[in-house]
Every structure is written in structure tokens, then in C-alpha cells.
């Protein structure tokens, strides 16, 4: 039988060296002291270098004051992770490979003292065959050497020139400080097989609805479509099973020859739909795919959690000419209450499943249903997607492109397009089967032209064309859009209201003047089909600011103060003085005013959008939560997971309009006969 061993459970060591110093002894035996500034540290992977150093008190916590400046030296070292693979994990007359789920960002890998791989992409998996090395060597040492990362990939620059596939937000964004992670971000597996192994597998579920609408309490016919590729000998067969908890509801064996020519569809009955939270049950099933040898014995197992639902996007009311932005699930229209999801921490290698669950539970309780995973970060983790399936969220995942200010166009050269396309394909292969996932997007705030800023990129761009072709081939039932925003205009402007130009639009992010005047007037005229980014700034709580200020002063509350200037875009000292005729007397006065102002602004925007449903399909707030203790930011949940007053008020608004924005699923007795 084929085997898979997880190297995460082994004992690992980490050491830092000056660049290339480690190559003075590349055949180093495990346990030999390497030259460097410190002794090797024991680590548990996945792990960032920063977390390992913090736990050993080598560095200070980067969340306090300007401590982020004190850790930039980490970027100027090579970081080496070492372990030894047990000899009994290897078998004679077998093929062996190592699969790395995530390596952030670039470097080399050695096995038995011999280089086996160069890597330079944080956002896709890396697999390398080591059969020859296993057969030739008794040395089972594995060494991963991370080189120095790129110097700058941050918020400013030229999107068309970014070719390094490492998350850009690390380098500074307007909602975080510089903390450039290096480390192992996912599982490392040793895979061994004798004759046949599953190379890749795409699984698609289809829910067959009567009258195109799902009824409460009814079971439905459904199907699973499986596109399977086998590596090695193809003298094998495939057993497909579907389980409802402990009950098997489907089983069928087919020769692999059928899968070679086309995907195979397996029909089943008695299926219950998966629903977003607060509408219906998050019903899931277990899909088991077994690879069988010529004798019918199981040689490999693939297990997935799946759900059955039907999704589509239909035209907004009074907008027949435009792209559709009304989301339908199982035949029912839903108003999308959403947030833009950014990383929980910059050292995302270290985020636990419990941390994901705690934050997602807060969003669920507060009425958020859609999570747009922002393109300046990464493909969200297995834990994130599994929990979204379990908790009933809808996920919109962007590919790793984002605006840069100086130009915002995707790269156009063929080599870079190929690199991004390979990464996007890896995204699709790893996440397409989750019932929570509903759409793909080319990236964040991409423009059609380098010099014209108000026209979003379209599928005329060669990068976007390449992405679109991928979706059509590997995840055809999902929606794909070129960018957020998309349509004729980037944002909605008063002079263009009523012209049908505002489809999916971004902004505004800051109220100008008094909320009850300019802001209210703007949103009362709004004709956008969906608000994909809308925000207003607010300070964190006074206690949080005091806790993380380091040795900086908390006042004055303006950009003359280094503490507030870290994320200077979101300081509203001028607005405070205009409204109050004076400067704030203390931190608490400014915080209370700023949080009240955010609440009032976002309530106006949200209510105007909700009341226009189904002319407006939803509102997605920029942004959800802080990954750094920002003094001020547009987030709705602060760094320690506490909802700001605006978030609490919005949750009450969703309840007020519940009957008009949530589908009321009719009972099966309502079926016409």
C-alpha cells in the first residue's frame, strides 16, 4: 500500500547564518554546530523564523511601538531548517517524493547532503522526487535553506513589474507595519508508492433542484463529478464512496480507463443541501476515493469533505445591461453582508485552527456571511476553508495580484503570466471543492491602463485571459471576475449617478465633512450594484492603544505623533477640530469621537444598500480585522478580537432588515402539484 508520512512530527532545528555561510559545510551532520550568530534552536513546524526567535527571547514582540524596526535584520540572514527522516519510512522498490505545502519564500533544499530543489514561490506547493537519492545514500538528513527575501514588495510601486510571488502586505500596508515572514507555512509529506498513485483530483458537486428552488425539509438528487489523474502504472481501478456521517449512501467501482478519457459523474439520491449560516443547515458529506490495484486491494485513499449546493448570479433589478450582482443559492436570493478578509497575523505560518475559529465565530455571530480574501495576501489555509464549510460562510478568493499606486496593471510579459497562472492553478486544485467557496477573482484594484486610474482591468488583459481560461477548464461552475472592483468605473461618483456605470465599486473609505450632510447625501443617491469595498476609519480602544504603544506617547492624536503616523492615512485630527472647534483633551475623548463617527458613517452606507436590495446585491466592508495593533484603521474588529461599536451596530441593522434580505425557505408542503 502507498504511504504518506508527515515530517511535521519530526524533531526540527533552525539556525541563522550570514548569507552563504552555511555552504561552507553543506554535508553537515544533524547535531553539528553550524557557524552563525546563535546555537541551533528547537522548533515545531509549521513555523516562522520570527515566532521561533520570539519564543527564545532573541527578539522583542514586533506588535509593540516601533519594535518592527528592530527585527528587519532577520531579512538579511539565511535561515536553515534541519531534520532527519527515519530510515524505516523508506521502502525498497518504491518511488519517493517530498511534498512541501508552503515555503516562504525562496532558497534551496538538500537531502543527504545533495541539492534536490531550488524554490522561489510562497504561494504554491513544491514537490520533488528523491528516489535516486534514497537508493544511493544512507544519509537521511533534510535541510531547507531560506535565502534573503526581496527588499520591497509593499503597497507602493509598479504592479506590472512585480514578479516575486511572496505576500506583499508583509512589507507595509496602510493597516500593518513591516514584518517580513520567513518560514515553513504548511505540511511537509514524504510520499511513497510502488506502482500507481493519485497525481491530482478535481471533484465537483451538482445539486439537482425541482423547479430551481430548494424547499425546507426535502431531499434531492445530486451528483459528484470526478476528474482523476493517476501517475505510474494505470492497471488499476477506482472505488468512490459517499458517507453521511456513519452511513454509506453511495458506492461504485470503475476501471481507471474510464477516467483517462473524461471525468466521471456519479448520481445519488436523498441529498440535503448546504446553506450559508442563519439560512439553513451546513450539511456536508465525506467523499472517499480509493485507488485499487489489479487484485482489488486498496493502495491509496483520498478523503474530502463536500457539500451540495447550487449557486448563480442573476441581474440586479433595473440593471439588465450590467454584470449580475444578485447572489442566489439553492434558488434563493441573498443580500451579501461581507467583510474584506486580510491575514489574522503577518506570521500566518503560526496561526492556529483555534484562532481561525474564534474569529470566524465572531463574524458569524455579528451577521457577516461573505468573506472576500484579499489579493495582496495568500491562499487561505486548509483550516480557514474547512471552518468556513462548517460555519456556513461564503468565500470569494482572489489570486495574488494587487494595486501599487504608481501603476496598477497586471504584468504582461509571457514568463510572468506563466508564473502567476501556475500559481493560480495551484490555488484552484487545492480549494475548488469546498462548498463555502463561490468565486475567483483576478486580484485587488487592478486597472486596465497604467495612466488612467478609474477603469478596472477587464478580460482583454492577457493575464486575466489566462486566469479565465484556467477557471473554464478546472472550475467551470464558479464565477470569475477580472478584479475587485469591476465594471465601467472603479468607484461611484455623484456626477455619474444614474448613468449605469457603477457595477462592483470600491470606496469611499473616509467621510469628508459632517457625516449627516455629505456622506448621507452621497449614499442616498447611490446606484451601485454592489459595494465591494466601503469603509470609514476609527481608532482602536484607548486601552489597546495604551497596551501596545511601547515607549511612544499616545497624544497628541495626530500625525505629528510617531504612534499615529505608523498608519497615517486613518488619523482624523482635522475632522475632530472642525466638528468640535478644539483639539481633543485626551486619548479617550478622541477614541470615543472616532469610533462614534465610524459607526454613524457605516450605518448610513449599509442601510442605504440594504434598502435598495435587489437593486443592490450587497456591501463588503474594508476591512474586517486588524493583524497589527493599529492606532487607527478602517477595521471593524481590533487586534485582540474585540468588535468596534460600528460592528455591533451593523449586526443590529442586519437583524432589523432580516425579513427582507434573507430568503425564507418554504416548507415542502408549498410545492405546487
Contact 167, 122 (CB under 8 A): yes
In tens, the pLDDT along 317-346 reads 999 999 999 999 999 999 999 999 999 999
Candidate from 454-468, 470-484, 656-670 with smallest mean pLDDT: 656-670
Cβ-based neighbours of 151, under 8 Å, separated by 6 or more: 75
Confidence at 673, pLDDT banded by 50, 70, 90: very low
Q: Which residues of 392-423 are buried (b: 16+ CB within 10 A; e: fewer)?
A: bbbbbbbbbbbbbeebbbbbeeeebbebbbeb
Average of pLDDT values for 110-136? 95
Half-sphere exposure of 202 (CA within 13 A, CB side): 19
Average pLDDT over the chain reads 94
d(CA 404, CA 156): 5
User: Which grid cell sits at 54?
Assistant: 520570539
d(CA 347, CA 102): 13
Average of pLDDT values for 3-21? 95
Contact 81, 182 (CB under 8 A): no
pLDDT at residue 32 above 70?
no
The residues that bridge with 207 in the sheet, in sequence order, are 222
Work out whether the CA dihedral 149, 151, 156, 159 comes out positive or negative.
negative
The residues that bridge with 98 in the sheet, in sequence order, are 128, 190
Task: Please state the CATH superfamily assignment of the domain spanning residues 316-543+596-661 in this structure.
Answer: Glycosidases (3.20.20.80)
Half-sphere exposure of 662 (CA within 13 A, CB side): 19
Nearest residue to 136 via CA among 151, 114, 152: 114
Q: What is the pLDDT of residue 514?
A: 79
Confidence at 47, pLDDT banded by 50, 70, 90: very high
Confidence at 671, pLDDT banded by 50, 70, 90: low
User: Would you give the end-to-end CA distance of the chain in angstroms?
Assistant: 53
Confidence at 581, pLDDT banded by 50, 70, 90: very high
pLDDT at residue 408 above 50?
yes
Q: What is the pLDDT of residue 25?
A: 60
In tens, the pLDDT along 435-457 reads 999 999 999 999 998 877 789 99
Candidate from 399-403, 449-453, 534-538, 636-640 with smallest mean pLDDT: 449-453
Count the residues in the chain. Answer: 673
- Looking at domain 197-306, its CATH architecture is Sandwich (2.60)
Q: What is the pLDDT of residue 210?
A: 80
Cβ-based neighbours of 511, under 8 Å, separated by 6 or more: 518, 519, 536, 575, 597, 601
Q: What is the pLDDT of residue 148?
A: 98
More confident residue, 590 or 194: 590
Question: Residue 415: which H helix or E strand, with range?
Answer: helix 414-431
More confident residue, 23 or 6: 6
Q: What is the pLDDT of residue 37?
A: 74
Residue 350, classed as helix, strand or coil, is helix
Distance, CA of 556 to chain centre: 36
Going from the C-alpha of 488 to that of each of 23, 256, 312, 491, 529, the distances in angstroms are 54, 47, 22, 9, 12
Q: What is the CA radius of gyration of the chain?
A: 26
The residues that bridge with 114 in the sheet, in sequence order, are 111
More confident residue, 630 or 33: 630
Pick the CATH number of 3-193 from 3.40.50.300, 2.120.10.80, 2.40.128.20, 2.60.120.260: 2.60.120.260
pLDDT at residue 276 above 80?
yes
Q: Where are the beta strands (DSSP E) in 121-174?
A: 126-129, 141-146, 157-158
- HEC per residue, 517-535: HHHHHHHHCCCCCEEEEEC
* CATH 2.60.120.260 domain extents, the chain: 3-193
| φ/ψ (deg, to 5) at 432 | -65, -25
Average of pLDDT values for 479-492? 96
Work out whether the CA dihedral 384, 389, 393, 397 comes out positive or negative.
positive
Confidence at 22, pLDDT banded by 50, 70, 90: confident
Confidence at 626, pLDDT banded by 50, 70, 90: very high
Question: Which ranges of 56-200 does DSSP label H, i.e. alpha helix?
Answer: 131-136
pLDDT at residue 506 above 70?
yes
Half-sphere exposure of 469 (CA within 13 A, CB side): 11
Nearest residue to 251 via CA among 260, 240, 262: 240
What percentage of the chain carries pLDDT values higher than 70? 97
- Other Cβ atoms less than 10 A from the Cβ of 129: the count is 14
Average of pLDDT values for 508-525? 88
* CATH 2.60.40.10 domain extents, the chain: 197-306
Confidence at 28, pLDDT banded by 50, 70, 90: very low
What angle, 0 to 180 degrees and rounded to 10, lies between the N-to-C axes of helices 587-612 and 645-656? 20
* CATH 3.20.20.80 domain extents, the chain: 316-543+596-661
Q: What is the pLDDT of residue 27?
A: 44
Distance, CA of 595 to chain centre: 28
In tens, the pLDDT along 76-116 reads 999 999 999 999 999 888 999 999 999 999 999 999 999 99
User: Which grid cell sits at 63?
Assistant: 506588535
User: Which grid cell sits at 262?
Assistant: 473524461
In tens, the pLDDT along 640-661 reads 999 999 999 999 999 999 988 8
Amino acid at each position: 500500500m502507498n504511504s504518506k508520512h508527515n515530517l511535521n512530527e519530526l524533531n526540527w532545528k533552525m539556525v541563522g547564518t550570514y548569507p552563504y555561510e552555511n555552504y561552507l559545510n553543506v554535508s553537515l551532520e544533524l547535531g553539528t554546530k553550524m557557524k552563525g550568530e546563535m546555537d541551533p534552536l528547537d522548533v515545531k513546524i509549521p513555523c516562522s523564523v520570527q515566532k521561533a526567535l520570539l519564543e527564545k527571547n532573541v527578539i522583542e514582540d514586533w506588535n509593540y511601538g516601533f519594535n518592527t524596526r528592530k527585527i528587519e535584520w532577520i531579512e538579511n540572514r539565511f535561515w536553515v531548517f534541519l531534520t532527519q527522516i527515519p530510515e524505516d519510512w523508506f521502502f525498497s522498490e518504491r518511488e519517493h517524493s517530498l511534498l512541501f505545502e508552503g515555503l516562504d519564500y525562496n532558497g534551496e533544499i538538500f537531502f543527504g547532503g545533495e541539492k534536490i530543489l531550488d524554490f522561489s514561490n510562497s504561494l504554491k506547493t513544491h514537490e520533488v522526487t528523491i528516489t535516486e537519492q534514497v537508493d544511493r545514500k544512507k544519509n537521511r538528513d533534510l535541510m531547507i535553506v531560506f535565502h534573503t527575501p526581496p527588499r520591497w514588495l509593499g503597497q507602493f510601486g509598479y504592479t506590472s513589474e512585480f514578479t516575486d510571488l511572496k505576500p506583499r502586505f508583509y512589507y507595509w500596508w496602510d493597516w500593518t507595519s513591516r514584518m517580513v515572514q520567513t518560514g515553513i507555512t504548511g505540511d511537509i509529506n514524504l510520499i511513497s508508492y510502488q506502482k500507481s498513485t493519485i497525481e491530482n483530483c478535481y471533484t465537483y458537486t451538482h445539486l439537482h433542484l425541482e423547479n430551481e428552488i430548494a424547499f425546507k425539509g426535502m431531499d434531492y438528487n445530486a451528483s459528484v463529478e470526478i476528474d482523476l489523474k493517476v501517475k505510474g502504472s494505470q492497471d488499476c481501478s477506482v472505488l468512490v464512496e459517499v458517507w453521511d456521517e456513519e452511513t454509506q449512501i453511495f458506492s461504485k467501482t470503475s476501471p481507471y480507463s474510464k477516467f483517462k478519457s473524461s471525468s466521471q459523474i456519479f448520481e445519488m439520491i436523498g441529498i440535503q443541501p448546504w446553506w450559508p449560516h442563519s439560512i439553513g443547515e451546513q450539511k456536508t458529506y465525506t467523499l472517499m476515493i480509493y485507488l485499487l490495484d489489479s487484485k482489488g486491494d486498496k493502495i491509496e485513499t483520498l478523503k474530502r469533505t463536500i457539500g451540495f449546493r447550487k449557486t448563480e448570479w442573476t441581474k440586479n433589478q433595473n440593471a439588465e445591461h450590467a454584470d449580475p450582482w444578485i447572489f442566489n443559492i439553492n434558488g434563493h436570493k441573498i443580500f451579501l453582508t461581507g467583510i474584506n478578509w486580510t491575514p489574522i497575523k503577518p506570521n500566518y505560518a503560526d496561526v492556529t485552527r483555534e484562532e481561525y475559529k474564534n474569529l470566524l465565530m465572531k463574524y458569524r455571530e455579528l451577521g457577516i456571511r461573505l468573506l472576500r480574501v484579499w489579493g495582496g495576501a495568500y491562499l487561505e489555509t486548509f483550516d480557514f476553508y474547512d471552518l468556513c464549510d462548517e460555519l456556513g460562510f461564503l468565500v470569494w478568493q482572489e489570486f495574488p495580484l494587487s494595486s501599487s499606486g504608481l501603476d496598477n496593471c497586471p504584468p504582461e510579459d509571457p514568463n510572468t503570466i506563466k508564473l502567476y497562472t501556475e500559481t493560480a492553478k495551484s490555488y484552484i486544485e487545492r480549494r475548488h471543492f469546498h462548498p463555502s467557496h463561490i468565486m475567483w477573482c483576478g486580484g485587488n484594484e487592478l486597472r486596465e491602463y497604467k495612466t488612467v486610474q478609474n477603469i478596472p482591468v477587464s478580460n482583454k488583459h492577457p493575464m486575466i485571459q489566462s486566469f479565465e481560461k484556467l477557471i473554464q477548464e478546472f472550475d467551470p461552475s464558479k464565477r470569475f471576475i477580472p478584479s475587485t472592483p469591476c465594471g465601467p468605473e472603479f468607484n461611484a461618483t455623484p456626477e455619474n449617478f444614474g448613468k449605469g456605470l457603477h457595477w462592483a465599486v470600491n470606496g469611499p473609505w473616509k467621510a469628508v465633512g459632517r457625516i449627516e450632510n455629505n456622506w448621507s447625501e452621497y449614499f442616498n443617491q447611490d446606484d451601485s450594484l454592489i459595494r465591494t469595498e466601503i469603509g470609514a476609519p476609527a481608532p482602536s480602544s484607548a486601552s489597546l492603544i495604551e497596551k501596545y504603544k511601547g515607549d511612544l506617547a499616545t497624544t497628541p492624536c495626530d500625525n505629528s505623533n510617531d504612534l499615529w503616523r505608523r498608519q497615517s492615512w486613518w488619523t482624523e485630527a482635522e475632522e475632530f477640530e472642525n466638528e468640535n472647534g478644539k483639539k481633543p483633551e485626551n486619548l479617550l475623548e478622541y477614541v470615543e469621537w472616532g469610533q462614534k463617527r465610524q459607526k454613524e458613517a457605516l450605518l448610513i452606507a449599509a442601510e442605504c444598500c440594504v434598502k435598495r436590495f435587489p437593486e443592490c446585491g450587497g456591501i463588503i466592508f474594508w476591512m474586517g480585522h486588524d493583524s497589527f495593533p493599529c492606532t487607527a484603521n478602517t477595521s471593524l474588529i481590533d487586534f485582540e478580537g474585540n468588535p468596534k461599536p460600528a460592528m455591533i451596530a451593523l449586526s443590529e441593522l442586519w437583524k432589523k432588515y432580516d425579513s427582507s434580505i434573507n430568503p425564507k425557505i418554504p416548507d415542502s408542503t408549498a410545492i405546487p402539484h
